[in-house]
Amino acid sequence: MDVERTPLFLGLTRQVSFAGLPVMYLVMLIITVMLGFIITQSFAYLCVSGLVGYLALRSLAAYDPKIIDVFIATVQRTRMSPALLRGEGVVYRA
C-alpha cells in the first residue's frame, strides 16, 4: 500500500480549514466583517457582508487555497520603495 494514500498521511498533510475556508481566509473574513460592523453598527451589514464575503472567499479557496499565503509572502519579501513612502508613487529608473 502506498503511504501517501493512507488516511493518516492525508489527514496530517491536508490544510487546516473551518467551514470550508482555510484558516487565513477565515481570519481575513472575520476581521473585515467585524471591523465593518463596529464602524457601521448595523446587523444588516454584518449579515450581508458575512454571507457575500464567505461565498466570495469560498469560491476563491476552491480556485486556489494558497493564493492569500502567496500574496502575504510576496508583500513580506518585496522591499518597499522609499519614493512610495514620500508620496511619489512607484518610480522606475534605469
Where along the chain do its domains lie?
Answer: 40-78
Q: Is the pLDDT of residue 12 over 90?
A: no
* Cα–Cα dist 11/51, whole Å: 28
The DSSP code sequence of 9-75 is HHHHHSPPEETTEEHHHHHHHHHHHHHHHHHH--HHHHHHHHHHHHHHHHHHHHH-TTHHHHHHHHH
Report whether 24 contacts 15 (CB < 8 A). no
pLDDT single digits (tens) 33-92: 999 999 999 999 999 999 999 999 999 988 988 888 888 888 888 877 777 777 776 666
